[in-house]
């Protein structure tokens, strides 16, 4: 099936009458150069040429602040607790392979291993993802090094592939097949749709070699590399908040008069307060353990628990880190290490910035 | 000019480390991406050759003199912005003058690596030459490539423009910005003046700052941040540069600076090592209109 370019606005118009449709857009805040997935409607122009939005789409499943329940005393003085479950059907239109993979990672965390997060689940069940193959890559994109394909997102409900006069449309899940029913009036039958998928072959220019990285990290908890790379980190939360897979949260409340609201909100392992416990004990009060935790979680711990990397190669942190603490450079540095017993560096070498070795 | 400075930096870093005068040199190295640089911490003479100085050294380094203050004597590269940051750290008693050896660098202003345009913070810079240093690595900049704002009027032009808006227009402008804020606190962490051992934001027992990400909480954070640093702000513009969401933080800072200037003739911060910030000391001639 083919979605011709000139039918696309009509399709979005039509769909947005029934669902909340989110499209990549930098319409608002153009001067600030900030793009995001915005609710399609008045004043929001989709831009499908954006490689990656500044902010990932994760807030549609895992909002920065999510109300959980309200509590308090009602007008008759009786206590109440009202759970709050929000979530309309949402169509996420035009996500890239990296963001589609990030939803797989979030699903692992919030829906598997015997833990089902009802707040996430409510939104997830009502989410339909429409992936769009990348027509070009940013200099910071490295998804194919992380085992992804910029041209295809297998887990998305619908996959769009750009062709000369529009997009080839393929349903990839049951949800996608159902969703496409509403698209039918806007689609054109193609001659031999399945036989000639004509997938473009977009490749990332930034490459890293992930071979053996996880196995090395298993041995590297006490490696001096962490001291070295963490020096320049200013411990802001930028990398974690622009990351499509970072999913840590805090639960807090706001009380007003005789009622209050419990909510959860994004938190970041880069913040000291993140690990602060009752009685003021803080296992990661210092900078180095926090930096180590972030990279270990991305490249090692998540792999242990869920069998995949928590880094999807979208490059947002690479682009936005104010001090260029670049995960791809770290991967190179780890790759270049020759580890002795228990992960310590060899006696005669230390690692410098950029992964080169300096003999003492 | 930058090439000569780079060569001088490498040479001096090598000598200072080899002689043991300093334990660490804080400078810039190269990043992975085109024209990208990053803060670099050099601890051995052999690594001195990895120091880079070019038109794209966008990071202000002064904050590292604070974060690395327990790592022995530091040599720190200081341009105008870093030098004023160092002065502020000394005035605020966060570091001792003897703890740092200052490699002075006259600076023509830095460029954004993608657009190749001068950085906003460098266009607004009023001190291209370091105001404190132990040695100067090149002769002073007398005719900057990017013109330096000549007067307070020029420095506060944007603030005045916004002051002329209606209350509703100002609210709309700033709500739009605060709405965008993700509270990553990069502005706080990059700031050489934000040196509280515990930020009000993190005093969760007291609960000054709600953890919700919404316009009200974002506005509260941003305004308290400005109140807190306003009279000590050295106008290095690092907060605005590090902001991933493009908030006009320096416009906000300059509003405070302008008010302080009008009320207390505060002038520019960080020009000396003295504790001279308007709200840091009392003078019998201070305005008392609120009493």
Question: For the segment B172-204, what is each residue's pLDDT rounded down to a tens digit?
Answer: 999 999 999 999 999 999 999 999 999 999 988
**A·B CB contacts under 8 A:** 127
What is the structure's pLDDT at A348? 41
Pick from B50, B59, B214: CB nearest A353: B50
What is the structure's pLDDT at B288? 77
What is the distance between the alpha carbons of residues A3 and A189, in angstroms, rounded to a whole number? Answer: 9
Q: Is B144 on the interface with A (CB under 8 A)?
A: no
Which of 108-137 (A) contact B at CB < 8 A? none
**Within-domain flag for B291:** no
Q: Is B196 on the interface with A (CB under 8 A)?
A: no
What is the distance between the alpha carbons of residues B35 and B19, in angstroms, rounded to a whole number? Answer: 32
**Within-domain flag for A47:** yes
What backbone phi and psi angles, to 5 degrees, belong to B157?
A: -55, -45
**What do you get for the CA distance between the two ends of chain A, in Å?**
63
Q: Is B215 on the interface with A (CB under 8 A)?
A: no
Q: Is B188 on the interface with A (CB under 8 A)?
A: yes
Clarify whether residues A24 and A166 are in a common domain: yes
Clarify whether residues B207 and B111 are in a common domain: no
Which of 48-77 (B) contact A at CB < 8 A? 50, 59, 63-64, 67-68
Do A250 and B247 make contact, defined as CB atoms within 8 angstroms?
Answer: no
Pick from A206, A254, A322: CB nearest B210: A254
If one compares A200 and B105, the residue with the highest pLDDT of the two is B105
> What number is the average pLDDT over the span B214-222?
96
**Within-domain flag for B238:** yes
What is the structure's pLDDT at A61? 95
Q: Is A266 on the interface with B (CB under 8 A)?
A: yes
Clarify whether residues A184 and A218 are in a common domain: no
Clarify whether residues A49 and A171 are in a common domain: yes
The residue segments making up the domain with residue B244 are 152-280
Clarify whether residues A145 and A229 are in a common domain: no
**Measured in whole angstroms, how far is the alpha carbon of residue A276 from the centre of its chain?**
26
The tokens of A122 are what? 């409510």
Clarify whether residues A177 and A283 are in a common domain: no
Q: Is A260 on the interface with B (CB under 8 A)?
A: no
What is the structure's pLDDT at A354? 43
Do B202 and A32 make contact, defined as CB atoms within 8 angstroms?
Answer: no
Pick from B33, B39, B176: CB nearest A323: B39
Q: Tell me the chain B residues in contact with residue A33 when contact means C-beta distances shorter than 8 Å.
A: 246
Q: Which chain A residue lies closest to B29 (C-alpha atoms)?
A: A353
- Lowest average pLDDT, out of A187-196, B148-157, B265-274, goes to A187-196
Which of 146-175 (A) contact B at CB < 8 A? none
Clarify whether residues B233 and B110 are in a common domain: no
The number of folded domains in chain B is 2
Task: Confirm whether the ipTM is greater than 0.90.
Answer: yes
**Within-domain flag for A23:** yes
What is the structure's pLDDT at A279? 87
Alpha helices in A185-298 (DSSP H): 213-218, 225-230, 238-242, 287-296
Strands A36-39 and A20-25: antiparallel
Clarify whether residues B165 and B116 are in a common domain: no
Q: Is A273 on the interface with B (CB under 8 A)?
A: yes
What is the structure's pLDDT at A197? 57
**Within-domain flag for B146:** no
What backbone phi and psi angles, to 5 degrees, belong to A335?
A: -60, -35
Q: Tell me the chain B residues in contact with residue A141 when contact means C-beta distances shorter than 8 Å.
A: none
Residue by residue, what is the 3-state secondary structure of chain B? CHHHHHHHHHHHHHHHHHCCCCCEEEEEEECCCCCCEEEEEECCHHHHHHCCCCCCCCCCCHHHHHHCCCCCCEEEEECHHHHHHHHHHHHCCCCCHHHEEEEECCCCCCECCCCCCECHHHHCCCCCCCCCCCEECCCCCCCCCCCCCCCHHHHCHHHHHHHCCCHHHHHHHHHHHHHHCCCCCHHHHHCCCCCCCCCHHHCCCCCCCCCCCCHHHHHHHHHHHHHHHCCCCCCCCHHHHHCCCCCCHHHHHHHHHHHHHHHHCCCCCCCCCCCCCHHHCCCCCCCCCCC
What is the distance between the alpha carbons of residues A97 and A76, in angstroms, rounded to a whole number? Answer: 53
A13-37 burial code (b ≥16 CB/10 A, e <16)? eebbeebbbbbbbbebbeebebbbb
What is the distance between the alpha carbons of residues A2 and A190, in angstroms, rounded to a whole number? Answer: 6
Clarify whether residues A39 and A183 are in a common domain: yes
Give the CA diameter of chain A. 77
Q: Which residues of chain A have pLDDT under 70?
A: 27-32, 191-199, 341-360
Q: Which of B211, B218, B237 to probe by mutation at the A interface, max A CB count within 10 Å?
A: B211
- From residue B179, alpha-carbon distances to A41, A62, A306, B213, B216 in Å are 19, 18, 35, 9, 8
**Within-domain flag for A337:** yes
**Within-domain flag for A200:** no
Clarify whether residues B269 and B193 are in a common domain: yes
What is the structure's pLDDT at A29? 54
Clarify whether residues B156 and B128 are in a common domain: no
- From residue A177, alpha-carbon distances to A91, A169, A173, A231, B111 in Å are 14, 11, 6, 50, 50
Do B189 and A235 make contact, defined as CB atoms within 8 angstroms?
Answer: yes
Clarify whether residues A170 and A234 are in a common domain: no
The tokens of B16 are what? 């200072």
Last residue of a domain, one of B104, B136, B168: B136
Clarify whether residues B62 and B174 are in a common domain: no
Do B244 and A242 make contact, defined as CB atoms within 8 angstroms?
Answer: yes
Do A29 and B50 make contact, defined as CB atoms within 8 angstroms?
Answer: no
**What is the model's pTM?**
0.92
Clarify whether residues B160 and B272 are in a common domain: yes
Clarify whether residues B220 and B166 are in a common domain: yes
Decide: helix, strand or coil at residue A227.
helix
Which of 183-222 (A) contact B at CB < 8 A? 206
Do B64 and A276 make contact, defined as CB atoms within 8 angstroms?
Answer: no
Last residue of a domain, one of A172, A188, A204: A188
Q: Tell me the chain B residues in contact with residue A234 when contact means C-beta distances shorter than 8 Å.
A: 63, 67, 186, 189-190, 242
Last residue of a domain, one of B71, B102, B136: B136
**Any long-range contacts for A267-273 (C-beta under 8 Å, 24+ apart)?**
A267/B211, A268/A237, A268/A240, A268/A241, A268/B184, A269/A240, A269/A293, A269/A294, A269/A297, A270/A233, A270/A235, A270/A236, A270/A237, A270/A239, A270/A240, A270/A294, A271/A235, A271/A237, A271/B185, A271/B202, A272/A235, A272/B202, A273/B202, A273/B204
Do B212 and A263 make contact, defined as CB atoms within 8 angstroms?
Answer: yes
CA distance B154 to chain A (A): 22
Q: Where does the pLDDT of residue B141 fall: very low under 50, low under 70, confident under 90, or very high at 90 and above?
A: confident
**Measured in whole angstroms, how far is the alpha carbon of residue A176 from the centre of its chain?**
21
Which of 243-262 (B) contact A at CB < 8 A? 244-247
**Within-domain flag for A170:** yes
Clarify whether residues B274 and B158 are in a common domain: yes
Strands B37-42 and B24-30: antiparallel
Question: For the segment A46-65, what is each residue's pLDDT rounded down to a tens digit?
Answer: 999 988 999 999 999 999 99
CA distance A29 to chain B (A): 8
Which of 16-55 (A) contact B at CB < 8 A? 28-29, 31-34, 54-55
Q: What is the CA radius of gyration of chain A?
A: 23
Do A263 and B245 make contact, defined as CB atoms within 8 angstroms?
Answer: no
The residue segments making up the domain with residue A228 are 213-359
Q: Tell me the chain A residues in contact with residue B208 when contact means C-beta distances shorter than 8 Å.
A: none
Decide: helix, strand or coil at residue A149.
strand
Clarify whether residues B130 and B230 are in a common domain: no
Clarify whether residues A183 and A297 are in a common domain: no
Q: Which of A323, A328, A331 to probe by mutation at the B interface, max B CB count within 10 Å?
A: A323
What does the mean pLDDT of chain B come to?
A: 93
Do A238 and B184 make contact, defined as CB atoms within 8 angstroms?
Answer: yes
Clarify whether residues A21 and A155 are in a common domain: yes
Last residue of a domain, one of B136, B161, B181: B136
Do B212 and A65 make contact, defined as CB atoms within 8 angstroms?
Answer: yes
What is the structure's pLDDT at A194? 53
What is the structure's pLDDT at A355? 40
Q: Does residue B215 carry a pLDDT above 80?
A: yes
The number of folded domains in chain A is 2
**Within-domain flag for B204:** yes
Clarify whether residues A8 and A68 are in a common domain: yes
Clarify whether residues A164 and A224 are in a common domain: no
Q: Which of A109, A98, A106, A107 is nearest to A305 (CA)?
A: A109
Clarify whether residues B168 and B245 are in a common domain: yes
- From residue A335, alpha-carbon distances to A140, A224, A295, B38, B227 in Å are 19, 15, 14, 21, 46
Clarify whether residues A184 and A45 are in a common domain: yes
Clarify whether residues B10 and B96 are in a common domain: yes
Question: For the segment B20-67, what is each residue's pLDDT rounded down to a tens digit?
Answer: 999 999 999 999 999 999 999 999 999 999 999 999 999 999 999 999
């Amino acid at each position: 099936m083919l979605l011709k370019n000139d039918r696309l606005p009509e399709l979005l118009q039509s769909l947005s009458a029934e669902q909340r449709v989110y499209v990549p857009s930098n319409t608002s805040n153009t001067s600030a150069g900030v793009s995001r997935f915005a609710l399609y409607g008045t004043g929001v122009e989709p831009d499908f040429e954006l490689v990656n939005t500044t902010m990932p789409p994760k807030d549609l499943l895992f909002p920065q602040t999510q109300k959980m329940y309200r509590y308090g005393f009602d007008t008759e003085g009786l206590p109440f607790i009202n759970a709050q479950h929000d979530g309309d059907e949402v169509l996420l239109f035009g996500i890239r392979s990296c963001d589609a993979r990030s939803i797989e990672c979030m699903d692992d965390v919030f829906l598997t291993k015997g833990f089902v997060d009802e707040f996430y689940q409510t939104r997830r069940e009502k989410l339909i993802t429409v992936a769009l193959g990348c027509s070009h890559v940013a200099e910071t994109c490295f998804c194919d090094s992380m085992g992804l394909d910029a041209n295809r997102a297998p887990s998305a409900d619908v996959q769009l592939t750009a062709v000369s006069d529009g997009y080839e449309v393929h349903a990839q899940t049951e949800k996608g097949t159902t969703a496409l029913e509403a698209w039918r009036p806007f689609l054109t039958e193609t001659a031999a749709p399945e036989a000639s998928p004509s997938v473009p072959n977009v490749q990332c220019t930034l490459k890293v070699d992930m071979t053996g990285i996880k196995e090395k990290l298993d041995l590297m908890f006490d490696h001096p590399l962490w001291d070295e790379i963490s020096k320049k980190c200013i411990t802001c939360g930028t990398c974690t908040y622009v990351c499509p897979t970072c999913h840590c949260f805090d639960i807090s409340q706001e009380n007003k008069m005789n009622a209050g609201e419990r909510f959860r909100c994004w938190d970041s392992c880069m913040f000291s307060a993140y690990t602060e416990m009752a009685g003021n004990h803080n296992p990661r009060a210092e900078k180095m353990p926090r930096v180590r935790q972030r990279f270990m979680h991305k490249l090692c711990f998540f792999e242990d628990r869920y069998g995949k990397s928590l880094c999807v190669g979208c490059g947002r942190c690479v682009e936005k880190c104010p001090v260029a603490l670049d995960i791809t450079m770290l991967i190179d540095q780890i790759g270049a290490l020759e580890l002795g017993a228990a992960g310590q560096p060899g006696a005669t070498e230390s690692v410098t910035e950029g992964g080169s070795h300096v003999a003492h | 000019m930058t090439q000569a400075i780079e060569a001088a930096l490498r040479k001096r870093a090598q000598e200072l480390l080899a002689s043991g005068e300093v334990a660490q040199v804080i400078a810039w190295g190269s990043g992975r991406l085109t024209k990208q640089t990053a803060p670099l911490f050099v601890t051995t003479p052999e690594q001195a050759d990895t120091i880079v100085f070019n038109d794209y050294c966008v990071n202000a380094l002064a904050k590292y003199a604070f974060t690395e203050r327990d790592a022995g004597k530091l040599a720190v590269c200081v341009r105008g912005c870093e030098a004023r940051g160092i002065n502020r750290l000394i005035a605020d008693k966060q570091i001792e003058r003897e703890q740092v050896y200052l490699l002075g660098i006259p600076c023509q202003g830095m460029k954004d690596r993608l657009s190749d345009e001068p950085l906003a913070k460098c266009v607004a810079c009023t001190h291209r030459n370091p105001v404190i240093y132990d040695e100067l690595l090149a002769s002073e900049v007398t005719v900057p490539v990017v013109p330096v704002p000549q007067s307070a009027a020029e420095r506060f032009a944007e603030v005045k423009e916004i002051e002329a808006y209606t209350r509703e227009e100002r609210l709309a402008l700033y709500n739009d910005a605060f709405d965008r804020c993700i509270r990553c606190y990069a502005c706080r962490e990059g700031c050489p003046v934000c040196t509280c051992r515990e930020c009000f934001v993190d005093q969760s027992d007291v609960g000054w700052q709600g953890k919700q990400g919404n316009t009200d909480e974002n506005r509260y954070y941003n305004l308290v941040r400005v109140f807190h640093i306003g009279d000590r702000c050295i106008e290095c513009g690092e907060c605005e540069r590090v902001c991933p969401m493009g908030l006009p933080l320096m416009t906000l800072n300059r509003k405070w600076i302008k008010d302080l200037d009008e009320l207390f003739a505060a002038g520019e911060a960080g020009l000396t090592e003295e504790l001279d910030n308007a709200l840091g000391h009392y003078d019998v001639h201070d305005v008392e209109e609120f009493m």
